[in-house]
Structure 1
Amino acid sequence: MYAWVTNHGKHGGAAKAWMHRSFYLHGLPRSVLWCRIFGHRPVVDGYGPVRPGLHAARWVCCDRCGVRPDPQGNLDESVWSLGQRYDGPFVEPSGQLDRATVERVAELICTGERKPGPWPKKPTGDVSAELVVGRTFRAFSVELKIGNAGSENKVAAHLQIWPFGALYLSFGSFGTWLQRRLNPVGYDSRGIELSAGEWRISWKLWAKRNEWSRDDPKWMQGSISLDLIEHIYGPKRYNYENVGEPQQITVRMPHGDDHEATVQLQRQTLGRRRGRKRYAWVVDWTAEGGIPTRPGEDRGGVWSSAVEVPDAAVEDGGWPMVAAACIASALTADRVRRGYRVAT
């Protein structure tokens, strides 16, 4: 077991923070006390439905601490259900099995199953914390995250209070017991959160983390605006309207490569339901195969984006050429920033 501290202030940490550090503890004993005294409680874990044609997998883990045997086993998903108590054989390190176990192992081999191995003698885990002292991004935020069977952090939490700072906690695999009680099935993490910032109060009540669906009930996640201007004049939004037909252009990069792109002129409107609005001309473009901007053989690139063109370019009809130049300029700056080199 060992610990270390990272000072993010030396590496461009949170803006306007007096202190920004992370604390780590690695190799802590992981099993819960009950498992150490009375042994593990083996149950069937895994993912996927059992209907024919759909992929699924089943293995063995401890229902209390989440530790898996080594190997974890590969069970028949049509026989074993998620959460079912596992009463099958284990492979002992010595390889000495009684007659009943040998017969059961032979039966498993015939069905394509692989039996789990022994439990690890000294399972370990990690915990970490991140402390920010100073101004944070939001006025207030508190969250409890319950992970899923595949999460690296089974339980995590954070607290942000402006302008004092923020505290983030990650318990790694130590939260497995709570995760298996609250969110044992599926691979969607859940969260409970309350936050306030930018004149808006937001909440999540057992909602999927980093995901939103219109099918979710309104009580599960939402927000309330405290901005009087927004209530009177409406929220500020962008609207786009296509003008004319799409056209083909050639984007000539200064590195010597040319790329064909499809461009569409659009009228952009920014404003509220009532009041003044800002108008601009933008060109939405798409390049089949993308335009590379990263170095290396498997170079990443940009497949589509948009650029703004002046009113004069639209009035005289030369907006496609101006758009091609703007696209080349923006992607060239991206290439320089990423260290792009011409392939030789």
Structure 2
Amino acid sequence: MYRHTVDYFKDRPDRRVLINRGFFFNDLPRLTPLCRAFGHKPVVDGYDSQFGNRDRSRWVACGRCGARPEPQGHLDPDQWDVGRPYTGLFNPGQPMSSPTVRKQLAARGFDEGIRLPGAWPAKPTGTVGAQLTLGRSHTLGAGIKVGNRGSEHTLAAHVGLGPLGALFLHTERHGTFLQRWLNPTGYESRVIDIAFHNGRVWWQLWDRRDEHRATDPAWQSGNANIHPAHYLFGERTAEVLEETKTDGTVWMPDGTSYPVTLTLEKWQRGRRRGRKCTTWAISWDCPGGIPVRNDSWKGDNTLGGGFSLPAEAAESRHWPAVACALIAKSCASDRARYDYHPAA
């Protein structure tokens, strides 16, 4: 067993963070009392492609602790189903440890004994890791993760206390018995998580970690507003009160000009009850585009979009000229950034 630490603070310095360090304990002996007492329970493991081709594979693993023989074996998918107890032969005396050598021999027809699983590992080991942050952590909540059959992290958990810090834990191969009991099939990890941010509480209850399906029940994941102002003054709203369109011309510093269509929108934002905030937004469109950089392999790029306009300029009849000047300034800045030069 050996350990090492990583100082993440050097990569992400933050004056509001006192400590941001990772701790790793490698080659820790795994606690497998049942397998040590009664031996491993060999079962067929593997996968079938979800995309309609013949990409299938089978190997042997322990149904309790998840350990695999060395080598793990290469079984015939037409004869062995995933999850079925493995009652075949083992070849613990295989002299070839290189997977490349075994594949080459199998491709040439010398697969007798090569495709069989080898010996069980004498001392299965794993890794336990942690990351401790004291200070701002950008997370407030707690959760646990139960990995899948292909997860690098078998189990994981975290606790975030916002400005006080956070603690993250994970295991590699440790806890495989729990993972195979709770999440034995598929390659989708499951999470139980609760988090607080943006005035809302977010939850996941045994939800897929990286996927959401329309058939999932509503209680499995969701969020609710817990901000007091939401219930005192109502939800936030944003609506357009006025909209004005006109044409304009953008003059670039090199003397070129581009016709544009300008749209001025007056927005009102705020909660339903209480004070409102009024802003003006400009959006523009240039049919031919305004080139701002040169790309030898895909031609000139064009810039388009919108930005806000100061109140005094929006309420003036000269707002189209102000908007065109801001567009020219933005395009000129991008040309300098990308070292633009007109195409020959």
**TM class by shorter-chain length?**
0.5 to 0.7
Q: Is the 8 A contact 1:67 1:123 kept in 2?
A: yes
Paired position in structure 2 for 1:216: 216
- Number of corresponding residues: 306
Structure 1 counterpart of 2:269: 271
1:38-75 superposed Cα distances (whole Å, 9 cap, x missing partner):
32211122223689646433222112221222332333
TM-score w.r.t. length of structure 1: 0.67
Please state whether the residue corresponding to 2:174 is helix, strand or coil: helix
> What residue is the counterpart of 2:153 in the other structure?
153
Q: How far apart in 1 are the matches of 2:121 and 2:335?
A: 52
Report deviation, 1:8. Answer: 3.2
* Equivalent residues of 2:188, 2:210 under 8 A apart: no
1:308 has 2:312 as partner: no
Which runs of structure 2 are paired with 1:97-176 in the superposition (5 Å)?
A: 114-138=115-139, 140-176=140-176
Whole-Å separation in 2 of the counterparts to 1:292 and 1:77: 54
How far apart, CA to CA, are the structure 2 residues paired with 1:185 and 1:332? 55
Please say if 1:45 is aligned against 2:41: no
Instruction: Indicate how the Cα distance of structure 1 residues 155 and 92 shifts in structure 2: closer, same or farther if over 3 A, else same.
Output: same
Q: Secondary structure at the match of 2:89?
A: coil
Q: Is the 8 A contact 1:284 1:304 kept in 2?
A: no
Identify which of 318, 330, 341 aligns with 1:326.
Answer: 330
Q: CA deviation at 1:28?
A: 1.6
Deviation at 1:223, TM superposition (A): 1.9
| Largest Rg, 1 or 2 | 2
Residue 266 of structure 1: how far off its partner (Å): 9.5
Alignment of 1:206-285 (within 5 A): 206-231=206-231, 235-236=235-236, 271-272=269-270, 274=272, 276=276, 278-281=278-281
Query: In the alignment, which residue of structure 1 is the partner of 2:254?
Result: none
* Residues 227, 86 of structure 1: alpha-carbon distance in 2 compared, 3 angstrom cutoff: same
Paired with 1:222 and 1:161, the residues of 2 have a C-alpha distance of: 21
Q: Per-residue deviation at 1:151?
A: 0.9
Higher mean displacement: 184-193 or 66-75: 66-75
CA distance in 2, matches of 1:37, 1:81: 27
Larger CA deviation: 166-175 vs 266-275: 266-275
Q: Distance in 2 between matches of 1:177 and 1:224?
A: 35
1:22 aligns with 2:26: no
Q: Give the Å deviation of 1:179.
A: 1.0
CA RMSD after TM alignment = 5.0
How far apart in 2 are the matches of 1:225 and 1:207?
A: 20
Give 1:220 shift. Answer: 0.7
Contact 1:309–1:323 (8 Å) recurs in 2: no
Residue 146 of structure 1 and its aligned partner are, at CA, apart by 0.4
Aligned to 1:2: 2
Letter of the structure 1 residue corresponding to residue 127 of structure 2: D
Read off the aligned partner of 2:307 and give its amino acid letter.
E
Matched, 1:34 2:38: no
Residue 22 to residue 273, structure 1, CA distance change in 2 (3 Å): same
For the 8 Å contact 2:293–2:334, the answer to whether it is kept is no
1:86 maps to 86
Gaps in structure 1 of 5+ consecutive residues: 96-104, 250-262, 286-290, 294-301, 337-344
User: What one-letter code is carried by the residue in structure 2 that aligns with 1:122?
Assistant: K
**Conserved? CA contact 2:92–2:117, under 8 Å:** no
Shift of 1:144: 0.9
The sequence identity of aligned pairs, in percent, is: 33
**Once structures 1 and 2 are overlaid, which stretch shifts more, 266-275 or 222-231?**
266-275
For structure 2, which runs of at least 5 residues remain unmatched after alignment? 96-105, 251-260, 286-291, 295-300, 340-344
**How far, CA to CA, are the matches of 1:265 and 1:43 in structure 2?**
66
Query: Are the aligned partners of 1:17 and 1:134 in contact in 2 as well (CA < 8 Å)?
Result: yes
- Provide closer, same or farther for how the CA distance between residues 141 and 15 of structure 1 changes in structure 2, counting only shifts above 3 A: farther
Residues 227 and 117 of structure 1: CA distance in aligned 2, closer, same or farther (over 3 Å): same
What amino acid does structure 2 have at the position aligned with 1:56? R
- For 1:85, the aligned partner's letter is P
State how 1:189-200 maps to structure 2 within 5 Å: 189-200=189-200
- Summarize deviations over 1:217-244 as a string: whole Å, max 9, x none: 121112221223334655447789x999
Change (3 A) 1:116 1:307: farther
Local SS of the residue matching 1:180: helix
The answer to whether the 8 A contact 2:94-2:118 is kept is no
| Structure 1 position 163, deviation (Å) | 4.6
| Secondary structure of 2:219 counterpart | coil
Q: Give the counterpart letter for 2:58 in structure 1.
A: R
Shift of 1:303: 11
> Counterparts of 2:304 and 2:168 in 1: how far apart (Å)?
35
Q: Does the 8 Å contact 2:160/2:167 carry over to 1?
A: yes
